[in-house]
A and B are shown apart, each in its own frame.
Chain A
Amino acid sequence: MKTKKLTALFGAVALTALCLAGCGGGKSDSASGSKTAESSPKEVNTSEHVDITIGGLSLSDSSTGAWPTEVIKAVEEKFNCTITTKAYDQESLNLDLSGGNTCDIVQISDGNIEGVLKGKHAVNLVDYKNIAPNIFSDGMDYRNKIMQKFKGDNGESQYFVTPRVVSDNYAKSYGSVIQYGYVVRWDLYKQIGAPTITNDDEYIEALKKMKELYPKTEDGAETYAMSAYNDADLHTYFFKGCLGEGYLNLEDGLYVQNAQTNDLVVDVYDKDENVKTPFWSGVEFYNKLYRAGLLDPDNFITKGEDLTEKYTKGQYIGGTVNWYFGTYNSNNKGTDKEYVVLPSKLGWVNEQNRAGWTGKYLFVSSHSPNVERAVMVLDYLQSGEFARSSDSGVEGRWEKGSDGKPHLTADTISMKVDGNRAEEWKMSGISDSRVDNLIGWDYNNVLADGGRVSLWNDEDIMKDSLTTAEQELCTQFGISLPSDLLKNGVEKGENMDLSKSDSTIRMCLETIPKNIVRIDSNCIEITKNALPGLIQADSDEAFASAKEALLQQLSEASVKESIDWWKKAWEDSKSAIESLESK
């Protein structure tokens, strides 16, 4: 009797499973990626108003704040549509992909490429070439070849485009301020005599002196040099090391790319005693901070938002990145109590993204009810015209000067700095972070009118936007812009920027097999768990012993299998690009 009941139960479950499987399985035919523009009209009828949604992993919801902005309104008018953006996280994106109901235009990362291609979720943009002149413009030729060969079926089809492509017409720029490097509180740094900082040891000495001057905040809270951010895996450590040693990060820090030679370097599993890899450089730096009593005791439990809170309260006197300052600088506007960033060995500028930004691939969904209109919108996002209006404002926000080149109007400049016009600034859509990852051209590409995409990168404009502390820094060092510290260092050969790094190698790596992903993820977890032992090591011997133990654990976790795969994939990618370029 019991057997019968069990059989019936399992039978029912199996039947349900089969029914559901039947429901899900029929999707593939309707979601055909080979949907083509049969009519291939040169002039698409746009008389019918449509809705176009753009969703992506690195996008924000248009409902968050002023929308539609001037910039977006112009696009909507041009294509008779209403545009909205949607933030995807990995889970919601996978859900939409599985259900075949993604947005009209979607932005994904490398991990989703295989699913999008196999699942036929993207339309072949080549089929819409006649309505996509910007995507297929000469300036995008290199990017398109890369997309066709490495992010497609290795043929003539092209499913993806990338944002922020660097063209041949690129004007180098160091920006106005340095974004990442040695962060100091300007008032304290000035008080200790603004010593030259060229390496970690000099920085730690400066931090010690600043801490002595400012042991507690005005509210009586303890101050520290800095803390790690623990919600980004190993990033805190290897990114600090990348800046200090001259590398770019890959695969969450297990591997890095030499910014000068473009070689792949094994970072965490570092057996070469002659080379200090970024991860170990970063970990040693944090260990030195710990030993000097400068590290926040909550170093291992602090997350991004905790950092922002403590920066806002003024509890940190140093750091490596400018993401977490919160409102501290704006709260102290007009005073010298501001965070400024001094250059480390590597300045994160001038990266030659000739194929655009890695990991932010845009495609038009084959499930879109308005494929043609979506292609037209995506194409326009790839244009110089849209890049200019997004980064510098719609025409009228800038105008041609007597030199024939475009310049921002005085009103636009004043709108940015005038707190009373904050709402107007938001509605202008200039430098709107919600569309930053959608823009086809890099900020520093020079357009046909002779001006950069971002007119804010003109030197005169940058000078006008400096804060009190930044102005004092310039006076202190006899320079025009804080970023001149980096620029001069690069010219002297003391610092470096990313102009020699080739991001395309990373982009063209073959899809990482699941077993390697599994090994890498396990290695990252093992390394994260070993960090307390390394950073809280009281002596060099204790540090060396903790390092040895970690390397042993990594070895047992099959790290060598991962290294072999990465080295081969890296070389394959390099040679494939070389062969593509030689054609």
Chain B
Amino acid sequence: MNRKRGFVKSGSKDYKLLWMAIPFITIVFLFSYVPIFGWIYSFFDYVPGVSIFECDFVGLEYFKLILKDDNVLRALKNTFVFAIINICLTPLPMLLAILLNELRNGPVKKFVQTFTTLPNFISWVIIFSLATALFASDGIITMLAVKLGLGDASNSLLGSNEAVYWFQSFLVQWKTLGWNSIIYMAAIAGIDQEQYEAAKVDGAGHFKCAIHVTLPAMMETFVVLFILNIGNFLNTGYEQYLLFKNSLTATNIEVLDLYTYRIGLQNMDYSYGVAISVVKSIVSITLVLAANMVAKKIRGRAVI
């Protein structure tokens, strides 16, 4: 038990494991650490086509600019709103997994699982096209709402700034719900069946089994995913918001990733775009560490 902690010993089982891990470590290094080199661009006035070392060094100029930029604050607010809504909806996949677990009809269970998982493989471009076909002024749902006297064609959901937050969050949930529930399904599969039998002996029905056996068993998974979600708090991505952005929804839909895309790639203001990304990364790391610390305080052990 007094095993020396340090680098793995040659010839040991751990050594083999390390070799097996090397491809993955390489991938993480290449795609997660090497791009950190790009942060250097935020300290230079980068002109595409000119070597970075021939560009003017501007120090923290672009970071100072962030503080003066009202749009960053607006984009940050939008990002927070979307992130908070999505974090509040984090238990949904877990609930879906519990409900699916309770389904006793095998084919129905498989159908529901497939039906809810498939949207994850549909690209945002196609989802946008579907949403247009459904919610544009001549879309099926809009026309139905008009016929039922619930709205008029000129006020489609796609152009509603007030509905942006919940409508976009609904689309995210629709797309990812089934996929995200898979990990919980796996967690449920790992629960010792004796626990259910014991609960049933004690008089628990389906509902009580779910509450007192299934739910506590999934909490570990839930907390890990929750912390990972907090790490991704600001990483909302931009494809969805870019597609659904129009002059009616622009003020509420522009998240930090989309703003960075607009500044960096559309306006070709690379250095400023990188500076925003750097700040975003630092905030994200801080959030993960904070969430991990909280988890440690509550559960007595850290996740990372």
Q: Which residues of A contact B (CB under 8 A)?
A: 12-13, 16-17, 20-21, 24-25, 27-28, 90-91, 93-94, 97-98, 111-112, 114-116, 118-119, 121, 221-222, 230, 296-298, 300-301, 306, 514, 517-518, 521-522, 525, 528-529, 531-532
Considering only residues 30-48 of chain B, those with a C-beta below 8 Å from chain A are: 33-34, 36-37, 40, 45, 47-48
Chain B nearest Cβ from A283, distance in angstroms: 12
Q: Does B267 contact A (CB under 8 A)?
A: yes
Q: Is the CB of B48 within 8 A of A97?
A: yes
Judging by beta carbons under 8 Å apart, are B268 and A118 in contact? no
Add 12 more A-B contacts to A97-B49, A98-B48, A114-B50 (CB < 8 A). A21-B37, A25-B52, A94-B48, A98-B49, A118-B54, A119-B50, A297-B137, A297-B154, A521-B267, A525-B71, A525-B262, A532-B248
Question: What is the interface size of chain B, counting residues whose CB is below 8 A from a CB of the partner?
Answer: 35
Complexed CA–CA distance, A98 and B269 (Å): 15
Digitize B137-152: 1 where CB-to-A-CB distance is under 8 Å, 0 elsewhere: 1100000000000000
A28 to B53: give the CA distance in the assembly, Å.
Answer: 10
Is there an interface contact between A17 and B159, defined as CB atoms closer than 8 Å? no
Which residue, of B47, B52, B136, has the highest number of chain A Cβ atoms within 10 A?
B47
Known: A21-B53, A119-B49, A300-B159. A111 touches B33 (CB 8 A): no
Q: Which residues of A contact B265 (CB under 8 A)?
A: 90-91
Contact status A298-B137, CB under 8 Å = yes
Task: Tell me if B287 counts as interface (CB < 8 A to partner A).
Answer: no
Given that A17-B36, A296-B137, A301-B158 are known contacts, is A518 also in contact with B51, CB under 8 Å in the complex? Answer: no
**Known A90-B268, A230-B247, A300-B247: A24·B33 in contact at CB below 8 Å:** no
A17 touches B247 (CB 8 A): no
Contacts of B246 in A (CB 8 A): 230, 300-301
Which of B48, B137, B156, B250 has the most CB atoms of chain A within a 10 A radius of its CB? B48
**Which residue from B48, B51, B248, B269 sits with its C-beta under 8 Å from A514?**
B269
- Tell me which residues across on chain B come within 8 A of A112, comparing CB atoms: 48-49
Is B251 an interface residue when CB atoms closer than 8 A count as contact?
yes
A421–B200 Cα distance when bound, in Å, is: 80
Report yes or no: B49 in contact with A111, Cβ–Cβ below 8 A: no
CB proximity of B54 to chain A, nearest CB, Å: 6
The smallest C-beta distance from B79 to any residue of chain A, in angstroms, reads 17
A529 touches B153 (CB 8 A): no
B272 at interface, CB cutoff 8 A: yes
Task: Tell which of B34, B47, B136, B247 touches A16, judged by Cβ atoms closer than 8 Å.
Answer: B34
Q: Are the CB atoms of A532 and B33 closer together than 8 Å?
A: no
Fill in one digit per residue for B61-94: 1 if any A CB lies within 8 Å of its CB, else 0: 0000000000100000000000000000000000
In whole angstroms, what is the CA distance A486 to B268 when docked? 40
Sample (27) of A-B pairs whose CB atoms are under 8 Å apart: A13-B36, A16-B36, A21-B53, A24-B51, A25-B52, A28-B54, A90-B268, A94-B49, A97-B48, A98-B49, A111-B268, A116-B49, A118-B47, A119-B47, A222-B138, A297-B137, A297-B154, A298-B138, A301-B132, A301-B136, A301-B159, A301-B248, A514-B45, A522-B71, A525-B250, A525-B262, A529-B247
Contacting residues, chain B, for A517 (C-beta < 8 A): 267, 269
Chain B residue numbers with a CB within 8 Å of A119 are 47, 49-51, 54
A13 and B50 within 8 A (CB):
no
Query: In the complex where A300-B159, A301-B248, A514-B269 touch, is A115 in contact with B137 (Cβ < 8 A)?
Result: no
Q: How far is the CA of A97 from the CA of B51 in the complex (A)?
A: 10
CA distance A492 to B98 in the complex (A): 80
- Give the docked Cα–Cα distance between A121 and B33 (Å): 30
Which among A25, A27, A300 is the interface contact of B248 at CB below 8 angstroms? A300
Q: How far is the CA of A230 from the CA of B250 in the complex (A)?
A: 12
Most chain B beta-carbon contacts within 10 A, residue among A16, A91, A93, A525: A525
User: Which of B50, B132, B269, B272 contacts A118 (CB under 8 A)?
Assistant: B50
Task: Decide if B37 touches A529 in the complex (CB within 8 Å).
Answer: no
On whether the beta carbons of B156 and A298 are closer than 8 Å, the reply is yes
- Cβ of B241 to closest chain A Cβ, rounded Å: 14
Max count, chain A CB within 10 A of own CB: residue among B37, B40, B136: B37
Q: In the assembly, what is the distance between CA of A12 and CA of B269, in Å? A: 29
Least CB distance, B153 to chain A, in whole angstroms: 5
| Complex CA distance for A28 and B55, rounded to whole angstroms | 12
Closest chain B residue to A100 by CB distance?
Answer: B49
Are B40 and A21 interface neighbours, CB within 8 A? yes
Q: A526 → chain B, closest Cβ, in Å?
A: 9
B159 contacts across to A, CB distance below 8 A: 298, 300-301, 532
Looking at the assembled complex, report how far the CB atom of A55 sits from the nearest CB atom of chain B, in whole angstroms: 14
Q: Is the CB of A20 within 8 A of B37?
A: yes
B267 touches A221 (CB 8 A): no
**Alpha-carbon gap, A221 to B138, bound state (A):** 9
**Nearest chain B CB to A253 CB, angstrom units:** 14
In the bound complex, how far is the Cα of B276 from the Cα of A438, in angstroms? 39
Task: Tell me the nearest residue of chain A to B53, going by C-beta.
Answer: A25
Taking a contact as CB atoms closer than 8 A, the residue among B36, B52, B137, B154 that contacts A24 in the complex is B52
Minimum distance in angstroms from B266 CB to a CB of chain A: 8
Most buried by B among A114, A116, A222, A300: A300
Bound together, the chains give a CA A554 to CA B197 distance in angstroms of 69
Expressed in whole angstroms, the Cα–Cα distance for A400 and B68 within the complex equals 67
Q: B138 and A529: CB pair below 8 A?
A: no
A177 CB to closest chain B CB, in angstroms? 31
Contacts of A94 in B (CB 8 A): 48-49, 268
- Given the complex, which residues of A lie within 8 Å of B250, measured CB to CB? 525, 528-529
Which has the most chain B C-beta neighbours within 10 Å: A17, A116, A306? Answer: A17
Q: Please report the C-alpha to C-alpha distance between residue A21 and residue B41 in the assembled complex, in whole angstroms.
A: 11
How far apart are B104's CB and chain A's nearest CB, in angstroms? 45
How far is it, in angstroms, between the C-alpha of A479 and the C-alpha of B154 when the chains are bound?
42
From B33, B48, B136, B267, give the contact of A518 (CB < 8 A).
B267
With both chains docked as a complex, state the minimum distance between the C-beta of B302 and any C-beta of chain A, in angstroms: 13
